[in-house]
């Protein structure tokens, strides 16, 4: 059964059938032709798959991020980032990395980060003489931070699908997020120095105190969310509901940029974005059940444990497989299908599940800005008005930087686990 449903899944994916529908078709084929299970299982698993309290955090964080974005936070965060790193050559490009890092802390989605920050900073970089492909590459790679720094939707998905603590995953994401941010800032600085980009960026430097005053309130959100979770005040889902109310209050009463029309647009965007992720979760819940029922997960685990002699060879294989998967399959679906299969194997090899979650998310997120299927890449290209082919030469350098970071995250567990171990 597992071969048939795997083959059907690949065929329908390749034909461009929506991912959720492809998964249901593959599962239907498996149930109808290769098992004695009732078809009713499809409907039952699809509803129970999303009927879960931890998963509510996904639509709530999407809504909170969209409210923050529409409520005027993006411009203020850009100003703060410019006041911190804007005084150097290449300051604008470095501001892009810093802003993405801060925006990631108020939004759980990297694509939201790309649009919100890219629409402000890419035109500004182009105006300052950066080539469009370079500006788009900086933005596309910086958006990777959106999925690592809490709150993060892929980390919630990993937590739910493997029953790993979302709170621990969130705090563990801070180390890898900071590593990638620092690596990108250093790389961007050196790159701009060598190529001579951003010579006039210093002119745009702003006062840190006034920029901080403007963005202090939105920056309280990560403090409330992360602090609330670790202080035991609320669960990640409740934190996401608090985040929505907080974003609403800021947008309506502090910055006064959220009108009724904007609010309806934000709600519309949020329900559609949430639906696209949640439908995949519903379908993947069915698929995972079938895979474990068919014995595929157990067979794969047996094969992997026999083939790889230690955890390092296993992790190298995981890095390569996830890089390829990430290039073709959307992150949420890849996590939902692969995490329940791979995590028990990783635990068998002695890898901490929280560490493995961060390896998996960082690895798959690399695929979000690599062709042929990089959502952040397409988003950055559309904002920068360049084609994917034009961006590739400059993008490759950023991919290499993130790949080195991924290697460090994979083989130095303390980068991920030091904060978790300090808190828990």
Partner 1 sequence: MDLFLRVEKNITNIALIASMIMLTISVALGFYQVVTRFIFNAPSEWSEVASISLMVWSVFLASAPAFKTGMMMSVDVIYRYVPNNKALYLKAFIGICCLSIILLLIWLGCDLAYRVRFQMVAGLKISMSWVYSALPVGCMFSFFAILGNLVHALNERKKPSNLERVLL
Using CB under 8 A as the criterion, which residues of the chain lie in contact with partner 1 when the complex forms?
Answer: 12-22, 24-25, 28, 39-40, 42-44, 46-47, 50-53, 55-56, 59-60, 63, 233-234, 237-238, 240-242, 244-245, 264, 267-268, 270-276, 278-280, 282, 328-330, 332-333, 372-373
Find, among 184, 10, 157, 161, the residue nearest to 99 by Cα: 184
In the complex, what is the shortest distance from the CB of residue 210 to partner 1, in angstroms, rounded to a whole number?
A: 33
In the complex, what is the shortest distance from the CB of residue 94 to partner 1, in angstroms, rounded to a whole number?
A: 32
In the complex, what is the shortest distance from the CB of residue 258 to partner 1, in angstroms, rounded to a whole number?
A: 14
CB 117 within 8 A of CB 103: yes
In the complex, what is the shortest distance from the CB of residue 17 to partner 1, in angstroms, rounded to a whole number?
A: 5
Distance (Å, whole) CA 67 – CA 249: 10
With respect to partner 1, which residue has the nearer C-beta, 272 or 321? 272
Distance (Å, whole) CA 417 – CA 174: 10
CB 84 within 8 A of CB 208: yes
With respect to partner 1, which residue has the nearer C-beta, 27 or 215? 27
Q: Which residues contact 352 (CB under 8 A, 6 or more apart)?
A: 413, 417
In the complex, what is the shortest distance from the CB of residue 224 to partner 1, in angstroms, rounded to a whole number?
A: 11
With respect to partner 1, which residue has the nearer C-beta, 245 or 317? 245
In the complex, what is the shortest distance from the CB of residue 58 to partner 1, in angstroms, rounded to a whole number?
A: 9
How far does Cα 240 stand from its chain's mean position? 16
Find, among 283, 343, 273, the residue nearest to 108 by Cα: 273
Intra-chain end-to-end CA distance of the chain, in Å: 42
Distance (Å, whole) CA 353 – CA 358: 9
With respect to partner 1, which residue has the nearer C-beta, 101 or 243? 243
Distance (Å, whole) CA 174 – CA 151: 10
With respect to partner 1, which residue has the nearer C-beta, 80 or 111? 111
In the complex, what is the shortest distance from the CB of residue 11 to partner 1, in angstroms, rounded to a whole number?
A: 11
CB 149 within 8 A of CB 176: no
Distance (Å, whole) CA 26 – CA 8: 5
What sign results for the dihedral spanned by CA atoms 302, 7, 372, 147? negative
Distance (Å, whole) CA 230 – CA 236: 10
With respect to partner 1, which residue has the nearer C-beta, 24 or 153? 24
With respect to partner 1, which residue has the nearer C-beta, 213 or 268? 268
With respect to partner 1, which residue has the nearer C-beta, 388 or 408? 388
In the complex, what is the shortest distance from the CB of residue 215 to partner 1, in angstroms, rounded to a whole number?
A: 24
């Amino acid at each position: 059964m597992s071969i048939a449903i795997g083959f059907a899944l690949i065929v329908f994916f390749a034909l461009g059938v929506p991912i959720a529908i492809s998964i249901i078709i593959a599962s239907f084929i498996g149930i109808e032709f290769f098992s004695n299970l009732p078809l009713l299982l499809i409907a039952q698993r699809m509803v129970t798959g999303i009927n879960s309290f931890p998963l509510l955090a996904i639509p709530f964080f999407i809504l909170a991020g969209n409210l923050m974005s529409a409520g005027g936070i993006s411009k203020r965060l850009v100003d703060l980032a410019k006041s911190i790193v804007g005084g150097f050559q290449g300051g604008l490009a470095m501001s892009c990395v810093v802003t993405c890092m801060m925006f990631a802390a108020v939004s759980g989605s990297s694509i939201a980060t790309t649009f919100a920050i890219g629409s402000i900073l890419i035109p500004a970089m182009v105006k300052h003489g950066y080539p469009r492909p370079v500006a788009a590459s900086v933005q596309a790679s910086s958006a990777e931070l959106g999925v690592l720094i809490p709150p993060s939707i892929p980390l919630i998905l990993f937590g739910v699908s493997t029953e790993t603590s979302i709170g621990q995953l969130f705090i563990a994401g801070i180390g890898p997020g900071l590593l990638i941010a620092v690596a990108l800032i250093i790389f961007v600085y050196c790159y701009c120095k060598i190529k001579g980009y951003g010579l006039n960026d210093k002119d745009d430097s702003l006062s840190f105190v006034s920029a901080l005053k403007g963005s202090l309130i939105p920056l309280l959100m990560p403090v409330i969310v992360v602090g609330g979770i670790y202080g035991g005040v609320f669960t990640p889902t409740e934190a996401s509901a608090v985040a929505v109310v907080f974003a609403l209050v800021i947008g309506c009463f502090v910055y006064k940029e959220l009108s009724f029309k904007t609010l309806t647009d934000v709600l519309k965007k949020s329900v559609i974005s949430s639906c696209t992720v949640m439908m995949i979760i519903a379908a993947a819940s069915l698929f995972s059940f079938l895979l474990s029922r068919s014995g595929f997960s157990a067979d794969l685990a047996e094969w992997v444990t026999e083939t790889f002699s230690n955890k390092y060879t296993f992790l190298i294989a995981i890095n390569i497989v996830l890089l390829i998967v990430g290039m073709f399959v959307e992150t949420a679906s890849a996590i939902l299908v692969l995490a329940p299969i791979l995590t028990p194997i990783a635990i068998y090899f002695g890898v901490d599940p929280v560490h493995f979650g961060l390896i998996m998310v960082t690895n798959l997120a690399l695929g979000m800005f690599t062709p042929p299927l990089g959502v952040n890449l397409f988003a950055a290209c559309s904002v920068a008005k360049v084609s994917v082919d034009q961006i590739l030469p400059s993008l490759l350098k950023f991919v290499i930087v993130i790949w080195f970071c991924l290697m460090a995250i994979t083989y130095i567990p303390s980068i991920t686990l030091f904060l978790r171990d300090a808190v828990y």
